[in-house]
Structure 1
Amino acid sequence: MAQRADCGPGSYPETGLQGQVPLADRQSGRSQQGYSCNMELLGQYQGEGSTWVNPSYDHCAYMGTAFGGLGRKKSEGTQVVDVSDPGRPVLTDNLTSPAMLTDSWESLKVSEERGLLAAVSGGPAVGALFFDVYDISQDCAHPRLLNSFDATNLTLPANVLGHEGEWAPDGLTYYASGSVAGSLTAIDVSDPARPRVVYTGVAGLPLNHGFSFSPDGNRLYLTRYAPAGVDILDVSSIQRRDPLPVIRQVGSVAWTDGLISQQTIPIVKDGTPYLVVADEFGAGGVRFVDISDEIRPVVTDNLRLEIQTTPYVNERRQDTTGNGLFGYESHYCAVNKRTEPTRLACGEFQSGVRVFDITDLSKPKELAYFNPPAQVGRNSELLGSEHAAGLVTATGASASDATNLNLGDLSRPLEAAAPPNLTADWCASPPRFVGSDQLWVTCQDNGFLALRFTNGVTA
């Protein structure tokens, strides 16, 4: 378990366990004031809320919006937010090409190397066909669609199935995983105006998820649903553009104290290569995997909040019931640097945004957190929020209660159910360290948040 943060002056700390929004706070309205520790809000663009994964680049942020609100939102598609003044983020554009319009899910990603923004259509969990590429290198506040069809806002099909996506480090290939049947598609974007599929097939187990790459782009670190874990794949054949590329599995590691691994981040710590891996179900938290032996990776350390630990199953259930499928789980994280990182920031759904000192991977210490005000009663105003729109919902126990959740529950995300009670937000998107004193992040109900560290905490 991560050591608790020491909250200094100006903080508005949690009232219960580390990471908890207690039922009493939800019922009294206390959660609508939010919680903070050594972190304060600089500026916000809420709009109508946002979806799962939303990147930022230079002085701009990009907010996908939910499929569930399609046709009813005031501002459709992906919202472009100019954060030149972090105290006053402003909407400057909205992107309505096919993938951006129909919900990019977890595929909206930036290539820092080439200054490109791209996404595949995620639709209501898994989409198909569309892949949109924008130039953000010249004017990030007004992205320019590069692969439009006949100078329209349409793009030609260039993907098979889409749920999650990521750029290879050189920005020449964009990969999309479709979760269903272990599908994986590699798209050549060397000419962004004419992207083309160079590989489509099956990778990893039948249900794959998020992924990242080695610096040379030859290894793909792919997470999977169940058993939770990571497959290390050799994708050098795609990277070389072999005429008939083949993916080869190199190694894998799995665990049973979590479910549905979401994301990997390759880092080097004390000269040893690791993966940072987050589980989005089953209270698995975040773990560190030594990949110096690619054939036999080893989990060395685990980072959990107090509320994610075994003794608090009942608290997790009673607090989060009625607020959708996700409770106190990890989702997407980021480090302050890939080589010898000292800070890890994670979106932890109803536990908010958490920042840790990982100078010693075996002894993580929480430094700061920000859990934004709950948006109770605003479901109809937040049609861009996947959470508030209620498309992904479930009755009964939340995902953090591994004892009462199985993969069968995940086959029914579109069931009609009562709208989520919004007694806590869903912070699912990867944070981004900006300079030494800021963290930019998007939470689903509160939208884009520019946060500043206080009380001597730095990035």
Structure 2
Amino acid sequence: MQYLQLAALLTSAMLMTACGSDNSGPSNSSRTTPSGITGASFVEPAECGAGSVPETGVQGQVPLADRESGRSKQGYRCNMELVGQYQGEGSTWVNPSYKTCSYMGTTFSGIPTKVSQGVQVIDARDPANPVLSTNLTSPAFFQSPWESLKVNEARGLLGGVAVGPIVGVGFLDIYDVGTDCANPVLLNSAVSNLTLPANLLGHEGAWSPDGNTYWATGASPGSITAIDTSNPSSPKILFTTIASPNNHGFELSEDGNRMYLTTTSPPGVIILDTSSIQKRDPFPMLTELGSVIWEDGDLSQHTIPVFYDGKPFLIAVDEGGAGAARIIDLSDETAPVVVSKLKLAIHAEENANIRAADTANNGFFGYEAHYCGVDRKINPTAIACGYFQSGVRVFDIRNPLAAKEIAYYNPPAQSEKKSQLAGSEHATSAIGGDLSTDWCSSPPRFVGNDQIWVTCQDNGFMVLKFTNEAYPLK
């Protein structure tokens, strides 16, 4: 608990630093761009082949009857099967994997009772038998990095900021995972396991693709902090500002010159010119280039920039309001346009009462998506998304205007193990529930030609395999 006390003491000092920073925030902000739909709003359901155990309700649903009877403890699967699993004490919001390893954060609320603190490092060299290699308990990782726990593949770095219960102050932890992903080395440690504060408010985070900048956002108010990580042993704040009343997750363009930032209310995306920070101008600033908002979702969560035949698109995901992923045409970045959606049948307006009844006792989140991952960013063929109560869903997106579902895996409900899941946000926090389904909130990762690696909050890290030749897509 010494880390938490120190973080609290640093709060006023860090906010004073913010006041002294160049706060040249985004300009040209109307944020009223209409979101015209030219493609499909709902995805065609998967055709489940041999060995599948399909859903018993509409697409994406875990019916109330299945929850009450215990049927949901068996899970549901379509053209996918479980290869290996490390459950541990459960996990928290966002847990990346890299090479043959996975990094499984654990919840702030479970600190008093967890046996294994901090971020769990899972060695999955044998995908059928993933094992705990070590756990990382530096300040940010001890508190819980929430949605800021991210890997930069270019430099083999794992980073995250202190978030704690929902927004934290001060710490950024950076580990070398490129040398040995199963045994990370803390790079910015000043004394023993204690890192130097290098952030202001933190809730979400991500790397620039070159790994020289780590960006943190602070939810509400919508702070953005750019941290120079060119020397990861000595990260330094470059710039901080308030971008909007509230912001959330984001990703940057491959050259680092654009940030695609989600906002929670109203839900949508803001496109920011980050080139001034990327090239290290002496007086950096952010400029808003365009935006798009929508009314049929809520709490926009994160983005993925992709290209189809050289044309830029953006995938944006909502975590509220019966939200899901949507595909946005960026041909004119000053006026982005939503062109299709990846909504499930359970998200349809006529199913609103069913959604409410099904999910009433299983915590704050319903059937919404949270994080997604594509198989590749240039001409992607498939996207896999984690949903809070609909499991892991995989879609054919070769045609961005007409996505089709090809597989899903909704893991067994862990209600009987609730007392053993002190690391699970779903099992321990005030916004959790009865565990009648899992919360699959992490980004799924395509591995090899036939696997998905993903972490769900109650079931932990899982290696999933496609069956019935559902993937790769030909």
Q: What do the CA deviations read for 1:161-203 (whole angstroms, capped 9, x no partner)?
A: 1100000010000000001211000110000100000011111
Superposition pairs for residues 369-380 of structure 1, below 5 Å?
369-380=408-419
Which of residues 98, 102, 106 is equivalent to 1:57? 98
Paired residues of 1:346 and 1:355 also in contact (CA < 8 A): yes
Q: Provide the rounded CA distance (Å) in 1 between the counterparts of 2:242 and 2:273.
A: 13
Q: Provide the rounded CA distance (Å) in 2 between the counterparts of 1:72 and 1:244.
A: 47
- Compute the displacement of 1:234 (Å): 0.5
Q: What do the CA deviations read for 1:388-425 (whole angstroms, capped 9, x no partner)?
A: 112334xxxxxxxxxxxxxxxxxxxxxxxxxx110000
- The yes-or-no answer on 1:178 pairing with 2:191 is no
SS of residue in 1 equivalent to 2:270: strand
Q: What do the CA deviations read for 1:60-93 (whole angstroms, capped 9, x no partner)?
A: 0000000010131010000000000000000000
- The yes-or-no answer on 1:426 pairing with 2:439 is yes
TM-score by length of structure 1 reads 0.93
Q: Provide the rounded CA distance (Å) in 1 between the counterparts of 2:247 and 2:74.
A: 37
SS of residue in 2 equivalent to 1:13: coil
- The yes-or-no answer on 1:108 pairing with 2:121 is no
Per the alignment, residue 447 of structure 1 pairs with 460
Superposition pairs for residues 239-250 of structure 1, below 5 Å?
239-250=278-289
Query: Match of 2:460, as an amino acid?
Result: G
Q: Provide the rounded CA distance (Å) in 2 between the counterparts of 1:109 and 1:58.
A: 13
Q: Provide the rounded CA distance (Å) in 2 between the counterparts of 1:276 and 1:177.
A: 19
Q: Provide the rounded CA distance (Å) in 2 between the counterparts of 1:190 and 1:94.
A: 25
Q: Provide the rounded CA distance (Å) in 1 between the counterparts of 2:470 and 2:45.
A: 14
Structure 2 unaligned residues grouped into runs of 5+: 1-41
Which of residues 24, 33, 37 is equivalent to 2:65? 24
Paired residues of 1:377 and 1:421 also in contact (CA < 8 A): no
SS of residue in 2 equivalent to 1:183: strand
Per the alignment, residue 198 of structure 2 pairs with 158
- The yes-or-no answer on 1:264 pairing with 2:303 is yes
Per the alignment, residue 394 of structure 2 pairs with 355
Query: Match of 2:237, as an amino acid?
Result: V
Per the alignment, residue 417 of structure 1 pairs with none
Per the alignment, residue 40 of structure 1 pairs with 81
Paired residues of 1:186 and 1:199 also in contact (CA < 8 A): yes
Structure 1 runs (4+) deviating above 6 angstroms are none
- Compute the displacement of 1:49 (Å): 0.2
- Compute the displacement of 1:122 (Å): 1.1
SS of residue in 1 equivalent to 2:93: coil
Which of residues 329, 346, 358 is equivalent to 2:385? 346
Q: Provide the rounded CA distance (Å) in 2 between the counterparts of 1:295 and 1:243.
A: 26
Q: What do the CA deviations read for 1:308-355 (whole angstroms, capped 9, x no partner)?
A: 111100110000001100010011001000010010100011000000
| Amino-acid identity (%) | 60
Q: Over the residues paired in the alignment, what is the CA RMSD in angstroms?
A: 0.8
Query: Match of 1:155, as an amino acid?
Result: T
- Compute the displacement of 1:299 (Å): 0.7
Query: Match of 1:312, as an amino acid?
Result: N
SS of residue in 2 equivalent to 1:25: helix
Which of residues 215, 231, 238 is equivalent to 1:191? 231
Q: Provide the rounded CA distance (Å) in 2 between the counterparts of 1:336 and 1:189.
A: 27
Query: Match of 2:142, as an amino acid?
Result: L
Paired residues of 1:107 and 1:176 also in contact (CA < 8 A): yes
Q: Provide the rounded CA distance (Å) in 2 between the counterparts of 1:447 and 1:176.
A: 25
TM-score by length of structure 2 reads 0.90
Structure 1 unaligned residues grouped into runs of 5+: 394-419
SS of residue in 2 equivalent to 1:132: strand
Q: Provide the rounded CA distance (Å) in 2 between the counterparts of 1:104 and 1:357.
A: 31
- Compute the displacement of 1:118 (Å): 0.4
Paired residues of 1:277 and 1:289 also in contact (CA < 8 A): yes
Query: Match of 1:340, as an amino acid?
Result: N
Q: What do the CA deviations read for 1:5-41 (whole angstroms, capped 9, x no partner)?
A: 1111111110001000000000110000000000000
